[in-house]
Structures are given as structure tokens and as C-alpha cells.
């Protein structure tokens, strides 16, 4: 705010008395840290505004991108386009589905992965000299596009069946084969041995009998028993989850330590003696099948060629969260703590197919470029057990090869600090990995190391898996207590003038839903977050416009559960809690939230004991886009007090349009604040320099 001398010529022409004029130039950036009186000529409240050249204007409008609702809460959006002239697509990861939107055709395709869990009696067979294992599972209806995951380890011959296997061939609705890593030295028919757990009363030590296990007692290395098993009565000891091998007794027996003591002396076979198999169903084209040939067990028509089974269907998976990336035309998608799936428009498959060679339990993924290496964070140990601090990566240019050798670039690294990897993302020159407390860079160096990991910041871990993104080459993220960026000299906290509006108004139990929203078109970074008054979903946002070394903050309410920056689709896209996807910065229309507005702090009109009097205000606005009519209509309401916490008097609201040259007022207070608000949800305006005429009217 600054003073201005009255215009004598204008006063003479209009007959106005020579009262002083005051010009109000609002300071850029909303400030909720200051009191209203301390924030003179500043903005203290905001809703759907932005800063452009240090001036306030309305936030950009949005339109429906996808014509229909997705059907559940969307957690991740990933636009991509393949090589050549393929259509632009958007991967849509929601809590109840995985979908793909074809922007050219306007079609949404449901590609949700499906699973089917079976608990058959172990009937596994293999011939000496063969590596083909035959599985009999009544009614499983498998195809060669599917994968089977053993939730129960099963010993047969000299092998231990554990983890994921691709279906190799199908011999009917109940029979299929998988390929083992080597040839069998014996013939076994319709058999399979599951782990046997033995516990003694008053002891937490459990002895496990399992042939061919090859397990070792290594500190930090775990084995897992996914299917639950109760030792003893219904209130007995339950064995389920990851366990560290406490000791190895011999080639078939080892011990683990249960978290509680057993109340009885008992023995139990895992899962009641039944194998537990999880099938990952890929719905694809019918392919010509080839008979198994040469198995010789008499279990169906293995001998000749025939048509492959059409296969059954499973249950669509659900997910708390998703991460997605693309490998050229191919979409890669990972549900939180699940396997990695792949889908491409030219695959012929109706839904996403699991990558059975990749780790099966991952927090999320991203593709490291330009080497084209698939990175999985919060991934698995060599035993297949998920480790909250492990980062794994594939061979370069081959997301199906995770074998670590001197012939591949595949590898892993365990972050040595923190308790859990929260997220990871790709930056222009490196990857960025965040634990709950620290942030690490992941730089490609090649050789035998492949990636070099360096801790770049402490006490600044991301608040959620989608809390970090890149603007103008620099990563920006939200932690549990501040905002940060990574500069040339390391992690730097961002000065934030609306800190308390965010961190004192955050639903901490839902903080994992926080989403970063980069808008490259306006050099902005926003974070959508659930407020303490929310229903659990993101209902509020905080946004910063970066102008050189200046950070101009604002905040407001708007529901967005997922976001993607400017892309092949065009301007940024975002999704609301109902499952609707919008394209932002398209027109001026806003829906589903309050109208654009802001309110200033108190500014002093006069000092001393005299009460100032304001009788005229001259507005200064741009009333529309350059390509549209200048016809915006807004209101200005003034609030006056004599003391910052004194009784408040309201003046107005006054309607302001392009034809409004001035506003006649009768304001009589020492301190003044203004509320500027749109009258309609389809307007654009930008405020300039407002002037007011005032004088002294004596004392009260």
C-alpha cells in the first residue's frame, strides 16, 4: 500500500473535494501465519485463485475428460503414448479397478487383473529326466497366459515349489504343467509335502519339517508362510507371515520363533494339508494348444495337439493405491504391496497380465531412464519376502529379467535408514527414494554397482507415495511437517506462508492419500490433502507459484484424489472422489466447490484518535480472457473495525462489472479488510491496483 497525491484536474472536473487518495497494491502470496492486522495489504484467506506476475486472478476452469464415472476412488493417473502414431492413453488406477482411457476414441476399457485362489489336495507329478511338473487342480480352468503362485511351499522329488510359475501347457480344465529350473532325478506321482509345524506348551519355538527347503539361518533374511495354520486348538498358535530362520536342525528341519508362546503341545500341517494356489488370470485370445506329450501319467489327453482351454475367470483385484509407468507403448501398473502388471493395446489381452518373473510384493514402481530399467521399491528379498527397505531393479531394456549376474544390470539395494520406503520417482538425472524419515538419490553409474545411493536429506521423508513430483527439473515434495525441494546444495525447506493452514488442519490418519499436483503451464506445485474435517478423502489443497526465488502460496478447498501434469493428453488432468476425471486449464468453468475469492488482512486507513472516512473506491480489474467477452461480474465486501479484535461492521457487498467506474461508500473505521468474490462459476478476472478516497471524520 502506498499513498498517492490527489489529481487536481480530476477533482476540479468532477467537483470532488480534495481528500487524500490511497492506492492498494496487494502483496503476492497468501499469509495465514500473520495476524490480520500484521498482514496489511496482504491476503489472509483464499479459494481457487492463483498468482500471475504477482497479481491475483481466478484459477483455471476444467471440463470432463472421461464422459463416465470410473466407479471407485481413483488413486493414480498416468498418460502415455507409444512409439509412432499410436493413440494417447491414460492409465487409471482406482481402488476397485485398473482401467485405460483411449483419448482419441473416448473409450474406457476395464483391464483389472483377476485372481482365483484354490486349496486342492496336493497332486503334483514329475518324471525322472523331465523338468515339466504336472498339477491337478479340479476345475481351475487354466490357460497358458496365466500364472500360479504357491502360497504354501510344497516339496516334491528334489524340488521345493514356492513362489510364482508361468502356466506352460494345459491338458483340460483340471490339469496343467509348469516348468521347473532343472530336470528331476526321480519320478513322483500325485504327491506333495507341505510344511509341518510342531510346538511345545509354554514355548515360542516352532520346529518346521519341510524337505528340500535349503533355508539358511541368516540375520535379516526371512521366509514366509502366507496361508495361515493353527497349531493346537482354535485358540492355539497361528503361524502366518514372514519368519526369520532361528536355527537349522538338518536338511529337512529348522526352527522359527513365534511372537507368543504355545498353549499346548501339538503338531499341524500347513493349511490343513491342502496346497494353496493363487492363479493370476489373463483373459486373452484363444490360442492353439499343444498336448503335453510324454508325461505318461494317464491324467487326461496329454498326447496330441488340440485347442487350448478357453480358461476361467477370477475375481478382480482391489487396491489401496497404485503406481504406473510406461515402457514404450506398454503400460506397467503396480497395486500397493502387490505384483507388477503389464498391458498394451496391441497385446490382444482383455486385462492386465502379471509379470511372473518380477518381484511379487512391491510398494510401487517407476522406470529409470534413459537406461530403461524398471525399479521396484519396498520390494522383496531373495526369498520372496517383502522387505520395507529394499529397492530392486530389472535388467536394462528387459522388465522380465530380474536375475542378478555379471550378464545383467539387475540388482538390489537395502536402504540403511528409516523403517519403511514411502515412495520413489524419477527425476531428470536420477531417481529419488524416500523412507519415512530420509530421502535418497539413486544415480546410475553402471559397472558392477549399477546404481549409487546417496542420502541427500534427513528428517524430510515424504508424507505419501504420491507426494513428490518434478517442476522445471527440480523435485518438490510434502513431508509430515514441511515442504521441500532438492537443490544444488541438497535438500532445502520451502518458506511457506500458509504452513499452519495445512499442517494444523491435516487428517493424519489419511495422510497417505496426499497427492502432489504439478502444473507446468503455470509453474505451480499443489498438494491435495484430507483436512481434519474431511470424510477421509482429499478435500483441500495448498499451492505455490514459483516466480524466480519467490514462493507465492495460496490455499482452498477442492476434491482431487489423483493428478497428472501436462502430458500428451494436453493440460493437467485430475480426478475427484466420485471417480470423475477432469481436464484442467480448459475454459473458465469450475464445478463442485466454492467460487473463487480472497480476503485481505486489515490495513490502517489512518492513525491517531480520529476516525477515517472512505467515500469512494475505484476498482481495477481485467474482466475476462483476451479471447472472450470482458463481462465478468464480481462482488467486493468491506469489513471495518477500530481495533483488530473489535466489533466488525460490514459494508456491501458491492457488485463490480466492467461498467463500474467507482463505488460510493460510507466506511467509517480505522482498519479495513476486503473480500473479493466471483458472482459466477464461469468467470475470469484479475485484480490490479485499487484506489480509495478517504479523509478524517473526527472522533467517535
- Looking at the structure, tell me whether residues 156 and 254 fall in a common domain: no
What whole-number distance in Å separates Cα of residue 338 and Cα of residue 98? Answer: 13
Asked which of 215, 240, 273 is the last residue of a domain, the reply is 273
Q: Read off the CATH number of the domain in which 170 is found.
A: 2.40.30.20
What whole-number distance in Å separates Cα of residue 363 and Cα of residue 32? Answer: 36
Give 110's Cβ-side CA count (13 Å radius): 12
Asked which of 315, 342, 377 is the last residue of a domain, the reply is 315
- Looking at the structure, tell me whether residues 139 and 228 fall in a common domain: no
Structure-block grid coordinates of residue 448: 558392477
At residue 654, the pLDDT reads 96
- Looking at the structure, tell me whether residues 606 and 692 fall in a common domain: yes
pLDDT at 407 over 90: yes
3-state secondary structure of 268: strand
The phi-psi region of residue 492 (left if phi > 0; otherwise alpha if psi is between -120 and 50; otherwise beta) is: beta
What whole-number distance in Å separates Cα of residue 46 and Cα of residue 554? Answer: 6
pLDDT at 268 over 60: yes
Q: How far is CA 580 from CA 74, 527, 659, in A?
A: 8, 19, 38
Q: What pLDDT, in 10s, does the model give residues 448-490?
A: 999 999 999 999 999 999 999 999 999 999 999 999 999 888 8
- Looking at the structure, tell me whether residues 224 and 280 fall in a common domain: no
pLDDT at 290 over 50: no
608 falls within a domain: yes
Q: What pLDDT, in 10s, does the model give residues 123-172?
A: 999 999 999 999 999 989 999 999 999 999 999 999 999 999 999 999 98
Least reliable range by pLDDT among 169-173, 359-363, 529-533 = 169-173
Classify residue 650 by burial, with Cβ atoms within 10 Å: 0-12, 13-18, 19+: exposed
At residue 19, the pLDDT reads 79
54 falls within a domain: no
Tell me how many domains the chain contains. 3
Percent of the chain whose predicted confidence (pLDDT) is above 90: 83
Q: How far is CA 465 from the centre of its chain?
A: 5
At residue 235, the pLDDT reads 74
At residue 489, the pLDDT reads 83
- Looking at the structure, tell me whether residues 170 and 241 fall in a common domain: no
3-state secondary structure of 10: helix
Structure-block grid coordinates of residue 664: 460510493
Paired strand residues for 469: 476
| pTM reported for the whole predicted model | 0.91
pLDDT at 10 over 60: no
Q: Is the N-terminal amide bond of 370 cis, ω within 30° of 0?
A: yes
Structure-block grid coordinates of residue 486: 532438492
Q: Among candidates 575, 569, 644, which has minimal Cα distance to 604?
A: 644
665 falls within a domain: yes
- Looking at the structure, tell me whether residues 202 and 249 fall in a common domain: yes
What is the DSSP secondary structure assignment for residue 395, as one 8-state letter?
B
At residue 84, the pLDDT reads 65
What whole-number distance in Å separates Cα of residue 378 and Cα of residue 698? Answer: 71
632 falls within a domain: yes
Q: Read off the CATH number of the domain in which 246 is found.
A: 2.40.30
Q: Among candidates 316, 403, 352, 330, which has minimal Cα distance to 97?
A: 316
- Looking at the structure, tell me whether residues 189 and 284 fall in a common domain: yes
Average pLDDT of the residues in 208-227: 95
Classify residue 244 by burial, with Cβ atoms within 10 Å: 0-12, 13-18, 19+: middle
Of the two residues 313 and 639, the one the predictor is more confident about is 639
At residue 608, the pLDDT reads 65
Domain range for 302? 115-193+276-315
Asked which of 254, 273, 292 is the last residue of a domain, the reply is 273
At residue 289, the pLDDT reads 47
At residue 698, the pLDDT reads 60
246 falls within a domain: yes
Of the two residues 696 and 473, the one the predictor is more confident about is 473
Q: Read off the CATH number of the domain in which 20 is found.
A: 2.60.120
What whole-number distance in Å separates Cα of residue 455 and Cα of residue 36? Answer: 41
Mean pLDDT, rounded, of the chain = 91
Res. 287 pLDDT band, cuts 50 70 90: low
Of the two residues 500 and 24, the one the predictor is more confident about is 500
Number of alpha helices (DSSP H) and beta strands (DSSP E) in the chain: 2, 60
pLDDT at 294 over 70: no
Residue 225 · residue 241 · CB < 8 Å = yes
Res. 103 pLDDT band, cuts 50 70 90: confident
Collect contacts of 101-107 with beta carbons under 8 A, ≥24 apart.
101/65, 101/66, 101/581, 102/345, 103/65, 103/569, 106/67
Res. 645 pLDDT band, cuts 50 70 90: confident
Q: Among candidates 139, 138, 135, which has minimal Cα distance to 149?
A: 135
Res. 238 pLDDT band, cuts 50 70 90: very high
- Looking at the structure, tell me whether residues 674 and 611 fall in a common domain: yes
Q: How far is CA 318 from the centre of its chain?
A: 15
At residue 700, the pLDDT reads 58
pLDDT at 656 over 60: yes
What is the DSSP secondary structure assignment for residue 9, as one 8-state letter?
H
Q: Please tell me the total number of residues recorded for the chain in this structure.
A: 700
Q: Among candidates 8, 14, 1, 24, which has minimal Cα distance to 618?
A: 24
What whole-number distance in Å separates Cα of residue 483 and Cα of residue 668? Answer: 42
688 falls within a domain: yes
Interacting residues of 666 by C-beta distance below 8 A, sequence separation 6+: 613, 614, 615, 651
Q: What pLDDT, in 10s, does the model give residues 45-92?
A: 999 999 999 999 999 999 999 999 999 999 999 999 977 667 899 999
- Looking at the structure, tell me whether residues 226 and 161 fall in a common domain: no
Res. 11 pLDDT band, cuts 50 70 90: very low
- Looking at the structure, tell me whether residues 625 and 692 fall in a common domain: yes
623 falls within a domain: yes
Percent of the chain whose predicted confidence (pLDDT) is above 70: 92
pLDDT at 2 over 50: no
3-state secondary structure of 513: helix
Q: How many CB atoms lie within 10 A of CB 83?
A: 7
At residue 612, the pLDDT reads 84
- Looking at the structure, tell me whether residues 180 and 281 fall in a common domain: yes
- Looking at the structure, tell me whether residues 174 and 156 fall in a common domain: yes
47 falls within a domain: no
Amino acid at each position: 500500500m502506498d499513498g498517492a497525491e490527489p489529481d487536481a484536474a480530476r477533482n476540479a472536473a468532477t467537483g470532488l473535494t480534495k481528500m487524500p487518495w490511497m492506492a492498494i497494491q496487494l502483496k503476492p502470496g497468501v499469509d495465514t501465519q500473520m495476524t490480520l492486522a500484521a498482514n496489511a495489504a496482504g491476503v489472509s484467506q483464499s479459494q481457487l485463485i492463483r498468482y500471475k506476475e504477482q497479481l491475483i486472478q481466478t484459477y483455471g476452469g476444467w471440463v470432463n475428460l472421461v464422459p463416465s464415472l470410473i466407479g471407485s476412488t481413483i488413486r493414480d493417473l498416468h498418460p502415455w503414448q507409444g512409439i509412432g502414431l499410436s493413440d494417447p492413453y491414460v492409465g487409471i488406477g482406482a481402488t476397485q479397478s485398473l482401467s485405460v482411457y483411449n483419448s482419441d476414441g473416448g473409450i474406457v476399457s476395464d483391464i483389472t487383473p483377476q485372481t482365483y485362489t484354490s486349496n486342492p489336495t496336493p497332486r503334483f507329478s514329475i518324471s525322472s529326466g523331465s523338468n515339466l511338473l504336472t498339477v491337478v487342480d479340479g476345475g481351475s480352468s487354466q490357460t497358458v497366459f496365466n500364472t500360479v503362485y504357491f502360497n504354501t511351499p510344497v516339496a516334491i522329488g528334489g524340488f521345493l515349489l514356492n513362489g510364482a510359475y508361468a502356466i506352460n501347457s494345459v491338458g483340460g480344465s483340471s490339469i496343467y504343467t509348469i516348468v521347473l529350473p532343472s530336470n528331476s532325478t526321480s519320478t513322483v506321482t500325485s504327491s506333495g509335502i507341505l510344511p509341518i509345524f510342531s510346538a511345545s506348551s509354554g514355548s515360542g519355538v516352532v520346529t518346521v519339517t519341510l524337505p528340500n527347503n535349503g533355508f539358511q539361518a541368516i540375520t535379516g533374511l526371512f521366509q514366509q508362510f502366507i496361508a495361515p495354520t493353527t497349531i493346537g486348538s482354535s485358540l492355539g498358535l497361528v503361524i502366518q507371515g514372514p519368519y526369520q530362520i532361528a536355527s537349522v536342525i538338518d536338511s529337512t528341519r529348522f526352527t522359527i520363533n513365534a511372537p507368543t508362546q504355545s498353549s499346548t503341545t501339538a503338531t499341524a500341517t500347513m493349511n490343513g494339508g491342502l496346497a494353496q494356489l493363487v492363479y493370476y488370470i489373463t483373459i486373452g485370445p484363444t490360442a492353439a494348444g499343444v498336448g503335453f506329450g510324454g508325461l505318461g501319467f494317464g491324467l487326461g489327453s496329454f498326447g496330441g495337439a488340440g485347442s487350448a482351454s478357453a480358461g476361467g475367470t477370477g475375481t478382480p483385484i482391489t487396491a489401496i493405491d497404485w503406481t504406473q509407468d510406461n515402457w514404450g507403448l506398454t503400460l506397467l501398473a503396480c497395486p500397493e504391496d502387490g505384483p507388477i502388471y503389464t498391458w498394451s493395446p496391441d497385446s490382444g489381452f482383455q486385462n492386465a497380465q502379471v509379470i511372473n518373473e518380477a518381484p511379487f510384493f512391491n510398494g510401487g514402481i517407476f522406470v529409470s531412464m534413459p537406461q530403461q530399467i524398471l525399479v521396484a521399491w519396498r520390494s522383496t528379498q531373495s526369498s520372496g519376502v517383502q522387505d520395507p527397505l529394499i529397492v530392486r531393479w530389472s535388467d536394462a531394456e528387459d522388465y522380465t529379467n530380474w536375475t542378478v549376474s555379471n550378464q545383467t544390470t539387475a540388482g538390489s539395494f537395502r536402504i540403511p535408514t528409516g523403517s519403511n520406503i514411502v515412495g520413489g520417482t524419477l527425476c531428470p538425472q536420477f531417481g529419488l527414494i524416500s523412507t519415512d524419515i530420509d530421502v535418497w538419490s539413486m544415480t546410475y553409474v553402471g559397472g558392477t554397482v549399477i546404481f549409487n545411493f546417496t542420502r541427500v536429506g534427513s528428517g524430510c521423508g515424504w508424507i505419501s507415495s504420491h507426494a513428490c513430483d518434478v517442476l522445471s527439473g527440480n523435485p518438490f515434495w510434502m513431508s509430515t511437517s514441511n515442504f521441500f525441494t532438492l537443490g544444488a546444495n541438497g535438500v532445502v525447506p520451502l518458506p511457506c506462508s500458509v504452513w499452519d493452514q495445512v499442517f494444523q488442519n491435516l487428517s493424519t490418519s489419511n495422510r497417505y492419500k496426499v497427492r502432489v499436483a504439478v502444473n507446468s503451464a503455470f509453474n505451480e506445485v499443489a498438494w491435495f490433502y484430507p483436512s481434519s474435517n474431511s470424510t477421509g478423502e482429499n478435500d483441500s489443497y495448498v499451492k505455490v507459484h514459483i516466480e524466480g526465488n519467490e514462493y507465492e502460496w495460496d490455499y482452498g478447498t477442492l476434491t482431487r484424489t489423483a493428478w497428472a501434469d501436462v502430458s500428451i493428453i494436453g493440460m493437467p488432468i485430475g480426478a475427484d472422489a466420485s471417480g470423475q476425471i477432469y481436464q484442467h486449464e480448459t475454459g473458465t468453468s469450475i464445478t463442485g466447490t466454492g467460487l473463487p475469492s480472497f480476503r485481505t488482512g486489515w490495513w490502517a486507513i489512518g492513525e491517531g484518535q480520529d476516525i477515517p472516512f472512505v467515500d469512494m473506491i475505484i476498482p481495477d480489474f481485467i474482466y475476462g480472457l483476451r479471447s472472450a467477452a470482458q463481462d465478468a461480474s464480481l462482488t467486493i465486501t468491506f469489513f471495518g473495525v477500530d481495533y483488530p479484535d473489535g466489533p466488525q461492521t460490514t459494508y456491501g457487498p458491492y457488485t463490480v462489472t466492467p461498467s463500474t467506474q467507482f463505488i460510493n461508500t460510507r466506511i467509517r473505521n480505522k482498519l479495513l479488510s476486503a473480500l473479493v468474490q466471483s458472482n459466477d462459476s464461469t468467470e475470469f478476472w484479475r485484480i490490479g491496483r485499487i484506489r480509495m478516497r478517504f479523509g478524517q471524520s473526527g472522533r467517535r
